[in-house]
Structure 1
């Protein structure tokens, strides 16, 4: 029996095991505007526990969803009660009272059910925010080896936020985006990673010093999300936020095709597309008018030339790749 089959059998075994008593709420970090913020998450009938990365990951994936839970969601003094759906998911849009706006910057939201409460970060973006970065996760920021099934299973289930490897240089690239330290972009992570891995993904970003303030939009695993799951999420972001966007992904699966589709659907809204070479890159037509890069410094230097990143920051983050300007040097 190969690694994938053995781990699949473990998932089934844990799914049929008796449930733990305490429920759990997963509340996604979010992006909002002064006039509205949309909060979403999932309610689990039991809190996943485990002494190893394998048991924690498996129990996260196998945890039962809580259908019909009454969820109280609150942000900046505004609250609403919603009912979780068949998959345990909930979503609500909160608006400030008449004559008020949500303050710019980073604040906390809360979601509670009987027996469990979760907090999440919400970044309220000004309409003057220079642009929005919409990023993939697997093989763009974290090494997941999606195109190699056994390695993918190992990275997904045998590793966690502390042991999964980061793509070198990507946190430095993201940290330099924006025309100035006081005019940074917003960040949204739209990924095929399962929504049950939300705590793990957030902890990974923090551990590797990616910019704070990411909104997380992860995949709800199921037959209906095997393909075309990113486009609706990205479309919704482009409709809710007025900024132009920078799209960042990898070549391993369908990011180039998805991003090309979004660029065609929203003319003038996509400032640049950056694709990390993670394999399946022989066909150059996939990357028309995109920046295909192996090293993050290549993307960062291009971003400087395109007015998307700060030159001094990129020089400090990638000194080995900075252009040499001394007299007599090429």
Structure 2
């Protein structure tokens, strides 16, 4: 373990070298998402060197969680791995990029043909690569272009208490807690269930966190009974040397992904949910300026009482846009629920 920690700055660089010389251990494919409309299905996965990882538990102490976090970030992405992705007889052979990412799209099959649609991922073992598991499957989330209602939500400090504006607190939470011991904001589960009508309407999570945290976020949402949906994270390779950058940097990718969802579902009107700590108000304002009629309402959790004047100016600026939705700053989920009930977005 100590040797792994001492060599962490070099292990990503050597990922491709290890493949060439046959020194990689077993490989695993992490299915990340598979979603789309009646025309296209978008698929993404990640190829990494398999590492032993125990399941999260409320009984795990801080030291056990720290070890698990170190293993998560110390693992090597595997470039140039050949992967077969299959969807309803359509097959694509892909090579993972420098971050181990594979992505593609398929022509969609009508959901009426089968109750559950799945995408399968399998490693085409070559050059000494050995898969930890022969096949990995992922259920497809498919909604018509003109489906009426959808939700787009941030994660850090919107759903998950993260202290994203405080690097020290954020880092400690990231490594000392697991999916079962991280805490959601009170009332989030009830609010999201109401907006989605208990999962009937789609919800998409768009975050600046990196893909190393995908399993934690997925398990956290399920454990806390928060409606699940495609999780769109940032393609940013992080390791032990820069773990503190997770969730930081440019948030332009969030804007791009939100606009991609708006284009994918042109008839869908969205609720946007975020927080005031990491530029969500400004990002969502940009979305409103381009798609004012496509947004039903915006809910922003106030991380602090700073910059009240700036928030008021932003709200007034949006009022000048024809058919602009309201941007509502709330202290907690109950305030958001009250507003949503008053405007009949959710039932009483």
TM-score by length of 1: 0.81
For residue 29 of structure 1, give the secondary structure of its aligned residue in structure 2.
strand
The residue aligned with 2:15 is none
Aligned length: 297
Structure 1 residue 109 and structure 2 residue 125: aligned?
no
Structure 1 residue 231 and structure 2 residue 268: aligned?
no
The residue aligned with 1:192 is 208
For residue 189 of structure 1, give the secondary structure of its aligned residue in structure 2.
strand
Q: 1:291 aligns with which of 301, 323, 328?
A: 328
- When residues 281 and 256 of structure 1 are mapped into structure 2, their CA distance, relative to the original with a 3 A threshold, is farther
The residue aligned with 1:61 is 73
- When residues 240 and 216 of structure 1 are mapped into structure 2, their CA distance, relative to the original with a 3 A threshold, is same
**Within 2, Cα distance between the matches of 1:118 and 1:53?**
26
Q: 2:86 aligns with which of 74, 77, 100?
A: 74
- When residues 262 and 222 of structure 1 are mapped into structure 2, their CA distance, relative to the original with a 3 A threshold, is farther
Q: Deviations over 1:81-111 (max 9, x none)?
A: 2111111111110114xxx524487643222
**Within 2, Cα distance between the matches of 1:154 and 1:188?**
27
The residue aligned with 1:41 is 45
Equivalent residues of 1:250, 1:278 under 8 A apart: yes
For residue 195 of structure 2, give the secondary structure of its aligned residue in structure 1.
coil
Structure 2 unmatched ranges of 5 or more: 12-17, 56-63, 126-130, 239-244, 316-325
Deviation at 1:251, TM superposition (A): 0.8
Equivalent residues of 1:48, 1:63 under 8 A apart: no
Say which structure is richer in helix: 2
Structure 1 unmatched ranges of 5 or more: 1-9, 312-330
Equivalent residues of 1:47, 1:63 under 8 A apart: yes
- When residues 226 and 168 of structure 1 are mapped into structure 2, their CA distance, relative to the original with a 3 A threshold, is same
Q: Deviations over 1:111-147 (max 9, x none)?
A: 2214144332321113453222110001111101111
**Within 1, Cα distance between the matches of 2:159 and 2:107?**
33
The residue aligned with 2:230 is 215
Query: Which is worse superposed, 292-301 or 115-124?
Result: 115-124
Equivalent residues of 1:12, 1:62 under 8 A apart: no
Deviation at 1:281, TM superposition (A): 4.0
- When residues 204 and 151 of structure 1 are mapped into structure 2, their CA distance, relative to the original with a 3 A threshold, is same
The residue aligned with 1:4 is none
- When residues 35 and 44 of structure 1 are mapped into structure 2, their CA distance, relative to the original with a 3 A threshold, is same
The residue aligned with 2:301 is 276
Deviation at 1:291, TM superposition (A): 0.9
Q: 1:133 aligns with which of 151, 155, 158?
A: 151
Deviation at 1:14, TM superposition (A): 4.6
**Within 2, Cα distance between the matches of 1:191 and 1:130?**
23
Query: Which is worse superposed, 59-68 or 103-112?
Result: 103-112
**Within 2, Cα distance between the matches of 1:281 and 1:256?**
14
- When residues 106 and 164 of structure 1 are mapped into structure 2, their CA distance, relative to the original with a 3 A threshold, is farther
- When residues 53 and 119 of structure 1 are mapped into structure 2, their CA distance, relative to the original with a 3 A threshold, is farther
Equivalent residues of 1:137, 1:189 under 8 A apart: yes
Q: Deviations over 1:229-270 (max 9, x none)?
A: 211111111111121111100111111111111111223111
Equivalent residues of 1:161, 1:204 under 8 A apart: yes
**Within 1, Cα distance between the matches of 2:149 and 2:101?**
29
